[in-house]
Chain A
Amino acid sequence: MTPAISCRGLQKHFDDVKAVDGLDLEVSPGECFGLLGPNGAGKTTTIEILEGLTKPDAGEVTILGRRWGGQERELRERLGISLQESRLTEKLTVYETLELFRSFYERGRDPERLLEDLALEEKRDARVGKLSGGQRQRLAVACALAGDPEILFLDEPTTGLDPQSRLQLWERIAVFKAAGRTVLLTTHYMEEAERLCDRVAIVDHGRIIALGTPAELIAGLHAPHIIEFSSEPAVDDELLSSVPGTGERRQRDGRWQLAAANLAQAVPALLSTLDDAGARLVSLSTHRATLEDVFLSLTGRELRDE
């Protein structure tokens, strides 16, 4: 089967900065694929190269079996693209904007239906300039859906949105995916990637450093649980290395994070170690490892350095 999206050896630099540094990717039809990484990891450059908006310095891109260049419009008929932080014309109303974008495609979705799809009916005749951030973002996605695309590209679709808008968008993307269409999105929200994506590529410094389903990536940690604690007085790394059943350790903001394969074994061991060292436990919590922890474990940095 022809992959919906594929690229090989993608490279792009701006001045001295290598934004994309040899990136390979393959997305199957019907798959929802996430590019996950911190700001500046090269996600936007990558997705814009795939969208045919930026020319790579090196590498090959194939979308629906075709290359960019030549019959570009035919290919664009089949794609829906929502850019990061683009602003639509403020003086037009929501409906007028959708009508305009609908006119660009040979066939597509009725603007009235698009309004329903993204819960914008009430804002039908409101000027774009008067919309909230969440409404604007929903409108941007509605515009991307105007041509009833086979592939939907979304660059940070929910960044800066309120929880309700985010949920609405997630629902809409899920419906699109359920219809057998392909989605490629970038995000730095773990929850978004875990909820929506069939597969995730973790991107850092323009390269993919991990690739798989969210479950696979988390399982790759060998320690699906994370114990977080703080103590008085604080304890050092050497002491913790002796706690049985714990793996990787990190200290942030005065709190320790320990990866553990088995909580029932690791927590009592930690408590007795602290007790022996004369340290009093101030706080203790545990959670199941997330993609956030995967990223942390791979790079030693947090995803959201905002």
Chain B
Amino acid sequence: MNRRAQVETTERRRGAPSERRNPLFALTRARLLEFVREPEAIFWVFAFPIIMAMILGFAFRDRPADKVAVGVAGEAGLRAVSGRPLASPALTVTVFPTVRAGLDALRVGKIALLVENADPPVYHFDPTRPEARIARLEVDDAIQRAAGRRDPVAFRETEVHEKGSRYIDFLLPGILGLNLMGTGIWGIGYSIVTSRLKKTLKVMVATPMRKSDFLLAQIGSRFFFLVAELVVILAFGVLAFHVPIRGSLALLCLTALVGMLAFAGLGLLVASRARTLEAANGLMNLVMVPMWLLSGVFFSSERFPQAAQPFIKALPLTALNDALRAVMLEGKGLPAIAGALAVLAAWGLVSFGVALRIFRWQ
């Protein structure tokens, strides 16, 4: 391949008849080159979603249940009560030299409960605080067990830590959807409006270039970014957070592809008339901001009132997020997401069709 290319180049330099590249290919290649030579663009497409997922993932990570801080007052701690120190995995114990110091700490909320080392021991706590009630149960349990209490009923415990039910599992498909929307609309919109502004578009229209080739190249180049975005974001989710992919990977890719086409169409439509970057920017925000909020990226769109649901479900990002989550988290197959894919395809086709008709080339 390489050698052939070399031979061709040499021949061309010798002045062999000029060969023509396929214009759609040449336009797509030019668009890709333009993109990879734009460092900011790389950041927004690849680094940004990962940083966002990381921050949100850490902020809402599942922590082990918090320990409750309690205090013990008296020279020998609780040893005098139980013969053993107060020990429980659910408690952090601070020993205070006097009851007074312990009560001060309780008053300012540093501890949830104070055990006064007396006979019988006294529990100081505020029963209106849930944390204090937990402390009361844990402390009493620890003291009674240390004193030799046996449970009359035997039981077994099973802990449930299911992957896929955590916030990050919900979030990652949403971030993928959000990114496909952002890069589709921004990536295509800015590139088109900038070339219109700089008259690059006009120069091209003055040649025999097919206008549809130009628009298809915009979408075609998005396809390459899609593959990269998908790989980077999924790999990040799976490797860093063990986010599950329960359904078929092929179906997940198909969903992302249909989503990408829908937003590429919207990007073309948004950019089809705008004469300035400001106008384009305003339009893009008008299109995207409602979907950021309504389409279930950060929280489920089910939280909005029932009356708004038909509208919200018809938004392309809602359809994409729902479909991505159904495949990734619930392992659903094609029949379950066919409706969402149809919504996306409709958005893509209608907006591409309208964009082609109303596109301003100069």
Contacts and interface: CB of A to CB of B under 8 A. Distances in A.
Interface of A: 51, 53, 73-74, 76-77, 79, 81, 83, 85-89, 91-92, 96, 99-113, 127, 140, 143, 146-147
Contacts of B20: 102-103, 105-108
Interface stretch (B27-35, B50-58, B295-303): B27-35
Given A105-B20, A108-B20, A109-B18, A83 B207 contact: no
Given A86-B202, A102-B18, A104-B209, 14 more contacts: A51-B206, A53-B362, A76-B207, A81-B206, A83-B202, A87-B200, A96-B30, A99-B21, A103-B26, A104-B204, A105-B207, A106-B20, A113-B18, A127-B37
B206 A108 contact: no
Interface size range on B against A: 20 to 34
Interface of B: 12-13, 15-18, 20-23, 25-27, 30, 33-34, 37-38, 195, 198-200, 202-210, 362
Nearest to A77: B208
Given A87-B198, A91-B37, A106-B20, A73 B203 contact: no
Contact of B207 (A85, A110, A112, A147): A147
B208 A92 contact: no
Contact of A110 (B15, B198, B209): B15
A99 B202 contact: no
Contacts of B206: 51, 53, 76, 79, 81, 83
16 contacts: A53-B206, A81-B207, A86-B198, A88-B203, A89-B34, A89-B195, A96-B33, A100-B26, A102-B20, A103-B20, A103-B23, A103-B26, A105-B208, A106-B20, A112-B13, A140-B203
A100 B30 contact: yes
A76 B30 CA distance: 22
A91 B34 contact: yes
B36 to A, nearest CB: 9
A106 B209 CA distance: 10
A96 B207 CA distance: 16
B23 to A, nearest CB: 4
Contacts of B205: 53
A44 to B, nearest CB: 12
Given A89-B30, A89-B34, A104 B207 contact: yes
A89 B25 CA distance: 17
A53 B360 CA distance: 12
A199 B103 CA distance: 105
